[in-house]
Amino acid sequence: MSKTALITGVTGQDGSYLAELLLEKGYDVHGMVRRSSTEKRERIDHLMDNPNFHLHYGDLADSMSLVKLIGTVRPDEIYNLAAQSHVQVSFDVPEYTADVVATGVLRVLEAVRVCGLEKTCRIYQASTSELFGKVEEVPQRETTPFHPYSPYAVAKQYGFWIVKEYREAYNMFCCSGILFNHESERRGETFVTRKISLAAARIAQGKQDKLYLGNLSSLRDWGYARDYVECMWLILQHDTPEDFVIATGEQHSVREFCEYAFREAGIELEFKGEGMDEVGIDKATGKVVIEVSPEFYRPTDVVNLWGDPTKAKTELGWNPTKTSFEELVKLMVRHDMKLVEKEN
């Protein structure tokens, strides 16, 4: 008998890769989608003809839709990936972020109980390294204390604890993957890596003059999304429900990401100046191609994320360095060079 999975957030970066992975593994895959004025679902368009892939309307802000959906699909596994996932935007829409990112998790857990599936359905919660926020230890591991540092992170912290609470109170198989940043050619265009890979491609092809960024010194542990969804699956196949840090164990700055990305696009960069006056210069032409803008600074920013994936490596057998940082940047820029070629 094939297993049935429900993915919330199936139209997102991770949801699309996870749907592909589960279909390859022979699952019947159900995805929850929101109604919007455009039916743009480019990340999953290629899956629409697969007879084992099904879409249903629903929303994490609407408990009845979750009860109906979970009661109809009766999944063996739920991957709760849906979220207002942009940290900077969470400062603009904090209440909505809390409703979807925090209470939304509770709604999924309660829907599973209301449908009488708490003994059979395993639940994965998309948790985040943002929980470590204003970090209290470097690198961060499962035992590192949390210090969330944005409305998004505070909401995700509720999600983490309510999953743990349901695991202990009702003996449910529900777990959180504490995932560090993971990127890809499907990454949303306002996250910093994709913003850089697209700009590098456009500047190299003479279609954009300058890239404006915020904090260039911010440090992240960036992995490849396609590798990370495999870990979500492994967490639910584990004998016991446990939480795992998922990271590469390698750290780079936003400035370094720019250097690698522009190099891949054929531009050698040199950075000069400091703080708001720092600029990135094209060494060959002397032109300023990167400037810092206060628009992309956050009221509080997380600046030192670096994960220790030892537990995932030893207990799940997961390989954190399957795709290296250099390979990740290359595949994003190569993808965007082709995409930009087609732009007018």
Q: Which residues bind ligand NAP (CB under 6 A)?
A: 8-9, 11-15, 34, 36, 59-61, 81-85, 100, 126, 128, 179, 181-182, 188
8 binds, among ligand GDD, ligand NAP, none (CB under 5 to 8 A by kind): ligand NAP
- Return the one option of ligand GDD, ligand NAP, none that residue 100 interacts with (CB less than 5 to 8 A, by type): ligand NAP
CB 50 within 8 A of CB 33: no
Residue 72 designated active-site: no
H helical segments located in 205-319: 225-237, 254-264, 310-316
Ranked by CB distance to ligand NAP, the top (closest) residue is: 12
- Assess whether 130 carries a catalytic annotation: yes
Q: Is the distance from CB of 302 to CB of 150 less than 8 angstroms?
A: yes
Q: Is there a contact between 8 and 82 (Cβ–Cβ < 8 Å)?
A: yes
Beta carbon of residue 31, minimum distance to ligand NAP (angstroms, whole number): 9
User: Residue 139's closest CA among 37, 241, 250, 279?
Assistant: 250
Partner whose footprint covers residue 296, from ligand GDD, ligand NAP, none (CB < 5 to 8 Å by kind): ligand GDD
Least distance from ligand NAP to the Cβ atom of residue 261, Å: 17
Phi–psi pair at 64, nearest 5 degrees: -60, -40
* List of residues contacting ligand GDD (CB under 6 A): 85, 87-88, 128-130, 180-181, 190-192, 195, 213-215, 218, 220, 254, 296, 298, 301-303, 305
301 binds, among ligand GDD, ligand NAP, none (CB under 5 to 8 A by kind): ligand GDD
What is the Cβ-side half-sphere exposure of residue 70, based on CA atoms within 13 angstroms? Answer: 31
- As measured in angstroms, the least distance from the Cβ of 8 to ligand NAP is 6
Contact yes or no for 34/56 (Cβ under 8 A) = no
Residue 84 contact partner, candidates ligand NAP, ligand GDD, none, CB within 5 to 8 A by sort of partner: ligand NAP
In the annotation, is 17 catalytic?
A: no
Shortest separation between residue 119's beta carbon and ligand GDD, angstroms: 30
**CA 181/CA 111 separation, integer angstroms:** 29
> Shortest Cβ distance from residue 183 to ligand GDD (Å)?
8
Out of 8, 11, 128, 144, the active site residue is 128
| Integer angstrom CA distances of residue 234 from 142, 176, 230, 244, 305 | 17, 12, 6, 10, 23
Please give the positions annotated as active site: 128, 130, 152
